[in-house]
Amino acid sequence: MRTYLDWNATTPLRPEVKEAIIEALELSGNPSSVHAEGRAAKMALERAREQIAAALGAEGADLVFTSGTTEAASMVLGQGGYLCAPTEHSAIKVWCDPVLPVDRDGIVTVTDPARTSLQLANNETGVMQDLPQGLHSSDLTQAFGKVPFAFNWLGLTAGFVSAHKLGGPKGIGALVLRKGTEIPALIRGGGQEQGRRAGTENLIGILAFAAAAAAAQRDLEAGVWDQVAQRRDALEARLCDIAPEAVIAGKAARRLPNTTCLLTSGWKGETQVMQMDLAGFAISAGSACSSGKVRASGALQAMGFDDQLSQSAIRISISPTLGDDQINRFADAWEKAYSRWRDRTGPAIRPSTEEG
């Protein structure tokens, strides 16, 4: 039986989402049509928009449905002229100048908030940022559904989210804009999504997104992620007991409750991923969008870790559905693989994490 420990890459569909998809299949109308079927579809779409906005704390903001965070970011940042840190996801870095300084704990120094895009939580390390007032935009993808926040309190012009990070389907997300913010349309044609994104709306995906957002909000209110954080901390203690030389990236910072980025110098991250996969556990060597590329993590290098440490990184991102027994079985499997590696390489030497 396999165990999924790659929640930051994507999440399985929630039961509530599967039900919402089945119900949405019965809506035959186009939301732009004026007949009864079209009006029913439009009502469902706008109700979903309100539910997602409420979960984001974005009541009164403009919420534009997109295919996901990558598209949402391109709609806002594609004109260029923005700054970011090298720890940002590639969907942000491709449009921005990644020059902002990052300290050892993964905390970014922002010098010009109005021209800066800064993620609320990092996908590789889980490190969370204190967003400065007046910040232009933020990738909220990893934080949404895992930690409480409200878009309306963050002082942002724009935020980006994807449904598949919180138990929704892939291929649907949203751009959240401060009310009245004008942006040029990336996809032109019809007047859908307040004229900001042409094309018939993905109604099935949108209704599923709303179901995922509502369920995620209930989990937050129930304190589910506090329990996840306790399991994450116990796992980290166990792994560091097994490998005293191992480093937890961003451990001193505030992090997402489910994320561990473990560095074991000299033991390639992709090798560990394959070994754990064969043992029945899904983990990652970095963000899913770049995990096929064998190279050191730019985010970890920006934090001051050398190439050898950065290339050893694995990301373990657990979920509320995992129990202690599953996490312990993973630790057992990792310990066996670590012991075999140490038998070949000799005793551990604690690596330096100094820059340069």
Closest to 137 in 3D by CA, of 121, 168, 114: 114
Query: Is the four-CA dihedral 163, 168, 171, 174 of positive or negative sign?
Result: negative
Q: Is there a contact between 165 and 173 (Cβ–Cβ < 8 Å)?
A: no
Instruction: Give the pair of three-digit tokens for residue 69.
Output: 């965070």
CA neighbor of 256 nearest in space, from 327, 320, 172, 198:
320
Active-site residue set: 289
Residue of 210, 176, 186, 229 lying closest to 61 (CA atoms)? 176
Residues sharing a CB contact under 8 Å with residue 182, sequence separation 6 or more, in sequence order: none
Burial code (b: 16+ CB inside 10 Å, e: under 16) for 40-59 equals bbbebbeebbebbbebbbbe
C-alpha angle with apex 268: 264 to 271, nearest 5 degrees?
Answer: 120
